[in-house]
């Protein structure tokens, strides 16, 4: 029985260390996505009402659209 116990606990510690290895990459992607979204919002705010209407969003929907929360016309929501 004592030979089986280290085998059972070893994968748990390996999963924790693997998760810590992925943390810097995940943090980098989250920060990058934040700045890309902010730039997209700033660009869309410069559009006039006619241009926003052409792409199918209202001015009040800009942030939601950038974050993917506004369904695209002609597509089924996921």
Q: Each residue of 36-48: pLDDT tens digit?
A: 999 999 999 999 9
> ∠ at Cα 24 (19, 28), nearest 5°?
130
Helix extents (H) in the chain: 4-45, 49-55, 62-66
On average, the pLDDT of the chain sits at 83
For residue 12, the model assigns a pLDDT of: 53
pTM beyond 0.75: no
What is the pLDDT confidence band of residue 5, given thresholds at 50, 70 and 90?
Answer: low
């Amino acid at each position: 029985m004592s030979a089986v116990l280290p085998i059972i606990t070893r994968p748990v510690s390996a999963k924790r260390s693997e998760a810590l290895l992925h943390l810097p990459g995940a943090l980098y992607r989250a920060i990058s996505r934040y700045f890309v979204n902010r730039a997209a919002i700033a660009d869309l705010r410069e559009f006039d009402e006619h241009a926003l209407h052409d792409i199918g969003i209202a001015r009040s929907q800009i942030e939601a659209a950038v974050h993917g929360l506004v369904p695209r016309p002609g597509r089924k929501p996921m």
